[in-house]
Structure 1
Amino acid sequence: MERIERARTSARMSQIVTHGNTVYLAGQVGEPHHDITEQTRDALAQIDMLLEEAGSSREKLLQVTIWLANMSDFAAMNEVWDAWVPTGHAPARACGEAKLADPALLVEVIACASR
């Protein structure tokens, strides 16, 4: 039976959960009150850090879900996303609009990768 490991765990959630060679990350957000470009960069930088901690990288992303507070930010978010995703390694991806936990948050990114 494959082991489940959790890292950066609180009473509510873990930032990283691994099961076998699969890495699941909690949703990552940027600094509130920054614009969509900066919040997206912040969230993706957090994903880079967590993936590295889990023994993975953005080249090994399997699936990403992106929630935007407003779909009018779709193009600006995609500009940052497109520069961040390594050529030839785009994961399966979904993007939708949702009310986020804090009204100052504009984007949340949830990722799953292999190790």
Structure 2
Amino acid sequence: MITRHQSGPRMSQIVTHNGTVYLAGQVAKGATVAEQTAGCLAQVDALLAEAGSDNTNMLQVVIWLADMADFAEMNGVWDAWVPQGHTPARACGEAKLATPEYKVEIIVTAAQA
């Protein structure tokens, strides 16, 4: 069974299927990559909780940065947030994001708890 949460005409923020949680890409406002990363991760926490999961159940994370020069700054926030012993498979790359104001976008797939 497929369940969709926070659905709109274009996308859903959460889709669950067979015990797997798929989150839409999360972006956040902020002046710095660190602020935007923290905002994205707070949104991930809230969405995973709504789907019956949390960040200890992450399977895969894809992170897009507008500029790979911000990799260390993003990782500083990520490393403080990700639960040690529960790190997901992760990829990070550079991409042109939806608007020039966005510096980071985070996409999460997780198991339901």
Which TM-score applies when normalising by structure 1?
0.96
Distance in 2 between residues matched to 1:30 and 1:40, nearest whole Å: 7
Deviation at 1:89, TM superposition (A): 0.3
Per-residue CA distance 1:15-41 (angstroms, 9 max, x = gap): 00000100000000111x520000000
1:37 maps onto 2:34 in alignment? yes
Match of 2:83 among 83, 86, 108: 86
Pairwise CA RMSD:
0.6
Match of 1:77 among 74, 82, 87: 74
Once superposed, which parts of structure 1, at least 4 consecutive aligned residues long, lie more than 3 Å away? none
Match of 1:54 among 51, 59, 67: 51
Q: Secondary structure at the match of 1:29?
A: coil
Which TM-score applies when normalising by structure 2?
0.98
Deviation at 1:100, TM superposition (A): 0.1
| Number of aligned residues | 112
In percent, how many aligned pairs have the same letter?
62
Specify the code of the residue in structure 1 equivalent to 2:43.
Answer: Q
Q: Secondary structure at the match of 1:95?
A: strand
Could you tell me which runs of 5 or more consecutive residues in structure 1 were left unpaired when the two chains were aligned: none
Q: Secondary structure at the match of 2:85?
A: coil
Distance in 2 between residues matched to 1:97 and 1:74, nearest whole Å: 9
